[in-house]
A and B are shown apart, each in its own frame.
Chain A
């Protein structure tokens, strides 16, 4: 190669990656980063989009939200819903993964069960919501089984009484979300070297000791990163709650996303909704920073 040709080649190598990335960066920039700036600016305007009045409103909308008891209730419901969901996703996912990984069951059965245990994952949130509404209808199958077993005395209105609604939607979400943990932990279990367990056998370790001292520490990186992602995603829940309870009865299942949605599209107060959306964004960003730090440290 001549010198001229070589330098042209080098120039191409420097410019090329940016060209390949440009369509993605344009889309992410225009449709993700710019809207984030927009939502922040909406939250400081007197009235955004509808009845447009873009004069500066200061912190008015933020003050309105923080003074609203429904906002704080929504925040609490979101935390409850998310924490309980993640804990149970992890526990059930772990138990199922350990059961399926056991060499006590025959391989054909294992493969069949693995497919069936993943089932809840294959259904859209809307469909999951509809299924659980049918199951938990006052005249539905869950009530009738529980009554036949003598566990409850009368029909319970799971989704329409304020005492049970939040637990019921959380339960439905637990059912819907454990397979992500199960699949990831199952893959993790298969990656643990067999000689760790053989060495423990020679030392006479009991099954629970192997679980605590080998299996769980080996799976820890997976457990932590999936829990963080699950936490971030579960916090953003919308369709499941929208379809089962719509945030009711009397705000008892209102979460941050339904609260924000109603501000925007039922009260048409887009500026105040923008303020609430910014608060959600900040919480998510905090968790994301934590997640990225963890991924980098790994």
Chain B
């Protein structure tokens, strides 16, 4: 059948490749522009006609960011909060997922529904009572405030993701431990955790990304420059010197590195995490 349609067939193939290039331009040009602008001087960014490749390649924007202790502190804060939340979330979610995956108990169905529905609670709704709580417990502008609030948003996803993973593991493994007289606690740490590493990695990646990207709570629950995270830092940079576009782009590139690296190194885990919310 193919042979009779060779010209038509070839035309379709060519059209498809043209569409692919157009799609590529749509998807990647904005990012390319960010990258190339970060290596330009401020005057060159708005040169007419625009220069696609930096004419005078310069690292001055990166030097300005990396030489400024205030901005380095933003990065430290983002990494610190994201790591702390990831460790806590994965531990707590692992226990809950083990309960969901290996036991039948009263209220299991409704608890599961509760956790699924907490995924969709609007952050802005929780922001106002959180602000009230944070002020009255005097933890405004502290790491504690950020870590506790992020934990609430990461936990439901992490539980669903881990439960999904544990459900794929055969039950005979931990039942064998029970036959030998071991408790479920022993089974969890001796048998389940070692073979759950892929699930744990996917959950960690996803949790880390959620924290790294968070904006609204970091904006509201912190105040001093020494407590701000990268997304807020970028916004501050924009307010302070609205025309330092090359620095803003350099900071954006640096702020995107963790996600890009995780994606390139662990694409599989990344995708598993990012689509977790939708697969139930």
Binding site for B on A (CB under 8 A): 12-14, 16-21, 23-25, 27-28, 31-32, 34-36, 38-39, 42, 48-49, 95-96, 99, 102, 104-105, 113, 115-127, 130-135, 137, 139-141, 144-145, 148, 175, 180, 183-184, 187, 201, 222, 225-226, 229, 232-233, 235-236, 238-239, 242-243, 256-257, 260-261, 264-265, 270, 273-274, 277-278, 280-281, 284-285, 287-289, 291-292, 295
Contacts and interface: CB of A to CB of B under 8 A. Distances in A.
B151 A284 contact: no
Contacts of A226: 278
B54 interface: no
B72 interface: no
Nearest to A122: B259
B30 A39 contact: no
Given A21-B100, A32-B121, 17 more contacts: A17-B99, A21-B111, A24-B155, A31-B149, A32-B126, A36-B125, A38-B129, A99-B23, A105-B17, A116-B27, A124-B215, A127-B252, A134-B37, A135-B33, A180-B275, A183-B274, A274-B129
Contacts of A144: 48-50
B16 A134 contact: no
Contacts of B271: 183
A175 B34 CA distance: 15
29 contacts: A12-B184, A14-B105, A17-B102, A19-B99, A20-B99, A21-B99, A23-B92, A24-B95, A31-B151, A32-B118, A36-B126, A36-B129, A42-B132, A49-B135, A96-B23, A99-B23, A116-B24, A119-B28, A122-B259, A130-B238, A131-B33, A131-B252, A133-B238, A134-B37, A134-B245, A201-B1, A235-B122, A261-B127, A288-B120
Interface in B12-52: 12-13, 16-17, 19-20, 23-24, 26-28, 30-31, 33-34, 37, 45-46, 48-50
Given A39-B129, A126-B235, A134-B245, A238 B92 contact: no
Contacts of B123: 236, 238
A163 to B, nearest CB: 23
A134 B128 contact: no
A24 B20 contact: no
B195 interface: no
Interface string B96-124: 10111011110010010111111011111
A239 B133 CA distance: 23
B245 A125 contact: no
B105 to A, nearest CB: 4
A278 B27 contact: no
B274 A292 contact: no
B97 to A, nearest CB: 9
A126 B215 contact: yes
